[in-house]
Structure 1
């Protein structure tokens, strides 16, 4: 029993219990638009996708689920994005002003707090930023949908709230069958959603750092500097590449005005890294754009936020390692700081295991379906990166393949976090060292 209470296992177990509970609720007749019980696989797949803030679906969220069912999905997205242990920490603070050491350790694992003293501060930042951001975005979207699209107040408010929570938690669920394609030329809808995606996906430790040390960027932690730099570069690369690859595509950008092309390219760059919304038809994009999405979805967003993937920090650390090796330097350096060897080992391990999961998932699904390899790869990386974008084959996959996707979503949301935390918690100095040799590499 003691082993189950290990912080890393507690995080994984928390997400698993939320999935089970969500599945049971979605199987209730009240959750189905037709007032009948949803099949267990549909309910299970949807619950996993919601808790893991992915957004892949096998049924249309807006028509298949009742308002009660949509509410359950929205709550699961909030819980999954907010974090099981963070929520437990805040509840504990409400009951008790002091937290037990085990509670602090578990929350430290999930939020990637740098020390036990940071836990309560980060938890409070998570709560404050989440609620304020979601309410502001929801209010903005509600007003826009009411005045610009003639929606009744109740419908506009529900749509605004649902999409705000889904966007901030990088979940990608939409109650519209076409996701956000109907708003492809509406900057007053897409820009607020983009802001919610970025703020939610950049990572709460970064937000905490920005809040405390906003006046002097020189005092930001190396993690914050690497995450912000990597995020900025990925957003620019994604924007320019999508614009280039889709510019003459008659099924996407070719018929758009210049401003709409710029808006759609920017939205695709932001959403493709973890959010899962789309303002253009993903299935109609060029093969080059799909390949670009492989790259962006696999990296994902910032650590200890609502984003998925192997994380921006991991990718940047690996890039610094490669640059140092090419230059012949013994240390990886950035912003006047050295990247510690343990962080480098952790980044390599997370990247390799993430790649292995994607490869294995792709091979297993290819054995059970006739869909083209590029579409299967897209689906697998989208699931592992908890992105939620799809070329349109999710619902048509056999049950075995859908179950593989649920496993990838779960490991993508929990596995890499748990892995990184277990490496940190389990690190210890050996009482001896073996003689060193240098095997040939390359």
Structure 2
């Protein structure tokens, strides 16, 4: 019998897992990264005081970093050493770009070409429906033959956007009197946290020092907005920004829905918070509009805040929870159920109200299996939030609105918090970490991974219609 080297056996096992279940492979990669970063964050060299960070804090930080959430159980600006902060910076970029996409980029750099398996992996990362049903033929996202160009776009766009945001922030910090070295690091840190939609701050007081600096806040908004659009949208801009008529339905739906939600959120915050002296009540009209727009953008997954979330009215907390639950664009650094999922549900409702069999948008018909996938995403997302909220309510005995806000923020990998995360006991911290993991990996991906096998039904049962509504 021929002896097979151990590394070839490992490679064959990985190849078999990737072919049989890309979703399980994705979960394994995320889990392995979280375990690795948990170990690194636990090291004395990672903490500013040179002590071992407790296990639940290390686990929570690792999950929050790799899942680009932005929630924390420790003060991220003071607890970690330069080594720990470097881990945070590297981790959010890995998690933001996407593990499978990053793996494919590395493979392309090493081999100078992409094989079919690598293309399938990257295509699954750029269009989550491929993880659910395998390779698809739709042109809504990125075709398989374009994956190589997409990966180049991902790598370049991440570097360029973060570099431009850092270039906008750096001189502003110098003007404010921040030392050159600190300004350089903080600008790079903030730019990464903006583009990856994470929301960590290197300053102990958060954004308090820049709460009225609209240049600084505007640069953060640009980074968050671009990161939340998704790499397929950025790729479409790179190919033909002058020809919007040729953009795919996915790009058009993402842009339209994102802009509608952004300004609708701004309007709601203006209406609900104009009389709140703790937030926007003491501001002028222009300042209120800008701060409301900033809040609307950040609740979509950005995670930065110029006010304390627990000082919002209950109605504003509910609006924030709804915006966080929706999140950003598919295959983006943002979380949530995604804007395209919401758009498909509304398109289905409009089609039903008008008595049409198919959903249509921008002169194209959307297949019904996308509707089933959208319903699955919303249902599993709502179930995750509900179960996590019940468990944390039982553990913490905290008010419902505070618990629901932080749980939705964890699921949608947003990072805004009422302060509940830092007050939870270790068992509550683990529950919230699991919620972040579910939100980032994707509920549909997780459900597909848990399925033992996919089988095709070769027969149809008799049809009968239950009464709905």
Instruction: Report the RMSD for the aligned CA atoms in angstroms.
Output: 1.7
TM alignment of 1:29-428, pairs within 5 A: 29-112=44-127, 114-147=142-175, 149-416=176-443, 418=445
How far is the alpha carbon of 1:14 from its aligned partner? 1.4
| 8 A Cα contact 2:326 2:339, kept in partner | yes
Please give the secondary structure, in 2, of the residue aligned with 1:63. Answer: coil
Alignment partner for residue 30 of structure 2, among 9, 15, 25?
Answer: 15
More off after superposition, 383-392 vs 251-260: 251-260
Deviations 1:306-344 (Å, cap 9, x if unpaired)?
010000000000011111112222111111111111111
TM-score, normalising length: structure 1 = 0.96
How far is the alpha carbon of 1:35 from its aligned partner? 1.2
Q: What count of residue pairs does the alignment treat as equivalent?
A: 439
> Structure 2: how far apart are the matches of 1:270 and 1:66?
30
> Structure 2: how far apart are the matches of 1:360 and 1:368?
12
| 8 A Cα contact 1:272 1:297, kept in partner | yes
Consecutive unaligned residues in structure 2, runs of 5 or more: 1-12, 128-140
| 8 A Cα contact 1:181 1:281, kept in partner | no
How far is the alpha carbon of 1:435 from its aligned partner? 2.2
C-alpha spacing 1:48/1:272, structure 2 compared with 1 (3 Å): same
> Structure 2: how far apart are the matches of 1:156 and 1:47?
26
| 8 A Cα contact 2:328 2:336, kept in partner | yes
| 8 A Cα contact 1:8 1:106, kept in partner | no
> Structure 1: how far apart are the matches of 2:221 and 2:197?
10
> Structure 2: how far apart are the matches of 1:294 and 1:438?
35
How far is the alpha carbon of 1:347 from its aligned partner? 0.4
Please give the secondary structure, in 2, of the residue aligned with 1:338. Answer: strand
> Structure 1: how far apart are the matches of 2:191 and 2:297?
15
More off after superposition, 276-285 vs 110-119: 110-119
| 8 A Cα contact 1:274 1:385, kept in partner | yes
C-alpha spacing 1:31/1:123, structure 2 compared with 1 (3 Å): same
> Structure 2: how far apart are the matches of 1:192 and 1:387?
18
| 8 A Cα contact 2:300 2:323, kept in partner | yes
C-alpha spacing 1:177/1:225, structure 2 compared with 1 (3 Å): same
Please give the secondary structure, in 1, of the residue aligned with 2:92. Answer: helix
Deviations 1:282-311 (Å, cap 9, x if unpaired)?
111111110001110000000001010000
Please give the secondary structure, in 1, of the residue aligned with 2:293. Answer: helix
> Structure 1: how far apart are the matches of 2:288 and 2:158?
30
> Structure 2: how far apart are the matches of 1:407 and 1:213?
40
How far is the alpha carbon of 1:421 from its aligned partner? 7.7
How far is the alpha carbon of 1:127 from its aligned partner? 0.7
